[in-house]
Structure 1
Amino acid sequence: MDNTREPAGHLSAIIGIGLLLIGLVVFGVDQQKAWSHQAELTKRFEACMESAPFKQSLRVPRPEAVITDDQLQNHFDAFDQLLKETGLPPIWNGKTLVAWKDYHKNSIEFASQCHTQLGIDQPQRQLKGTYAKPVWDPNSPIWRQAD
């Protein structure tokens, strides 16, 4: 009688292991699809962000190339003043110096428009890499506390 129970126990173990392996494969395939979707959504978001106005300002010549010698001292004075006021160096937007926080806030507003356009409602979960960080999420506590 003991011989008949032993194969039944092995059969149950084999079936259990088989079901576990099938479950792992299904889980792996599901995670791969989710990862691929996340990567594609991130790629589309990056393409959207490339059309942002602040990206165009990076293609404009540096201030020293478009400012006369007389205006250069005023430019340095404005830079120093913004640095003292905000604690962060300002950014040249192609026309004038802009406080870093304002410049970044504009980029966040544009990112929010891209989120809406692409149907992204949880960027920290739906995007990969740098764009998944809280600083790029317009609804992040970072931005709610800053205002």
Structure 2
Amino acid sequence: MDKTKEPVGHLSSIIGIGLLLVGLVVFGVVEQKAWSHQTELTKNFEACMESAPFKKSLLVPRPEAVLTAEELQNHFDAFDQMLKETGLPPIWDGKALIPWKDYHKNSIEFARDCHLQLGIDQPQQQLKGTYSKTVWDPNSQIWQQAD
């Protein structure tokens, strides 16, 4: 009688291990698909963000190349004043200094449009890398408090 129980015990162990392996494979396939979707969504979001108007501001000439000596002094004074008031350096857009927070808020509004285009409703979970951080999520508390 002991001989019949032993093979049944081995058989149930083998079946259990087999089911565990099948479960791990299924889990791995599902996770791989989710990872691939997240990667593709992030790639599409980055492509959308590349068309943002603020990306062009990186190509504008530096203030010292377009301002006169007097205008340049006013520029530096305004820069210092904004830095003292906000604690963040302003951004030069080629024409004027823009407070960093306003500049970034415009980029967040553009990101919101990209989210809508791509059907992203939970960027912190759906995107990878830098774009999954709260500072890029238009619905995060950071931006709700800023309004």
- Shorter-chain TM-score category? over 0.9
- The code of the aligned residue for 1:34 comes to A
Query: Who is 1:90 aligned against?
Result: 90
Q: CA RMSD in A?
A: 0.7
Q: After superposition, give the CA deviation of every residue in 1:40-86 in whole Å (9 maximum; x if it has no partner).
A: 10000000000000000101111111112221101001101111111
Q: After superposition, give the CA deviation of every residue in 1:80-109 in whole Å (9 maximum; x if it has no partner).
A: 111111111101112210000000000000
Query: Who is 1:27 aligned against?
Result: 27
State the number of aligned residues. 147
- The code of the aligned residue for 2:132 comes to A
Secondary structure of the equivalent of 1:61?
coil
Query: Who is 2:81 aligned against?
Result: 81
> Could you list the runs of 4 or more consecutive aligned residues of structure 1 that deviate by over 2 angstroms after TM superposition?
none
Q: Aligned pair 1:107/2:107, yes or no? A: yes
**Percentage identity across aligned positions?**
81
Matches within 5 A, 1:1-147: 1-147=1-147
For 2:75 and 2:146, locate their aligned partners in 1 and report how far apart those are by CA, in whole Å.
28
For 1:61 and 1:132, locate their aligned partners in 2 and report how far apart those are by CA, in whole Å.
31
Normalised by the size of structure 1, how large is the TM-score? 0.98
For 2:64 and 2:24, locate their aligned partners in 1 and report how far apart those are by CA, in whole Å.
60
Secondary structure of the equivalent of 1:84?
helix
For 1:139 and 1:10, locate their aligned partners in 2 and report how far apart those are by CA, in whole Å.
55
